[in-house]
Amino acid sequence: MRQELMSLPKGLAEDVSRNLVMVARLIDEDPEGAYAYSRIALRLASRVAAVREAAGFAAYANQKYSEALAEFRAARRMTGSVELWPVMADCERGLGRPEKALEMAGAPEVQKLDKASQVEMRLVAAGARRDMDQLEAAIVTLQSPELASNSVQPWTARLRYAYADALLAAGREGEAREWFAKTVESDKDGSTDASDRLAELDGVEFVDALVEDDDESERGQVGASKAGTEVRAEDEHQDDEDEDEEIPSVTTDGITDDVDDLEDEDDDRDNDEDDREDDAPHRPQS
């Protein structure tokens, strides 16, 4: 790439280089951002093969398969290299043309690819078979010396994963589990979710620790609220009992006795008056 950029004026070459660096840096984490930088580089130097290739990969990462395929074809015309053949075939799949991808998988260009690109081409061909609902054919396509090898290569995890996934889709769960386990062994950097797939087959469920902590916290708050309510209820009940003790009970016995005493006093006064009248001297009648 450096040699290609040397054909540009120094200032322009530096600008293009900075944009290409940003494409490489963002393409996995921020595909849209990478695509934006690729378009800038493309406007600055559309006749540089490295720029066309970077623009193709940025478009591919954003599932702009027609645009990506055009850029890859342009880069291939400029360089004459076949290294982009597998990703070009995958673009055909993305455009809904799996038959074209299979045709490319059988083309003479595949024999010119290095081992890694040949494995990539095999993965694309198997994917095209699955697109056409040919599961058994996809399984057979993936069966190869590279799959059977015990040595771990950069492509090993992806190849084993694709094979396990195809087996599972075909209903061969036992074999699928075996190959997911082999994928986990070779996937040292965690590029696949083979461990999750294996756990799913084994019936293992993962619980989010944060969610569990939140649930515990909520249960604790509810328990504290309930305990507080019970304490308040007990306090209110105790207050009621205290009030009952302070207020004396009132009966009618005392009131009745007082009324009887007053009535007795009235009767005594009446009797005294009658006695005085009897003792008074009677005046003779004239």
| Length of the chain counted residue by residue | 286
* Global confidence as pTM: 0.71
Is residue 203 very low, low, confident or very high in pLDDT (cuts 50, 70, 90)?
A: confident
Phi, psi of 27 (to 5 degrees): -60, -30
Exposed, middle or buried by CB within 10 Å (0-12, 13-18, 19+), for 188?
exposed
Contact (CB, 8 A) for 88 and 104: yes
Exposed, middle or buried by CB within 10 Å (0-12, 13-18, 19+), for 2?
exposed
Per residue in 63-80, pLDDT (tens digit) is 999 999 999 999 999 999
Per residue in 115-125, pLDDT (tens digit) is 999 999 999 99
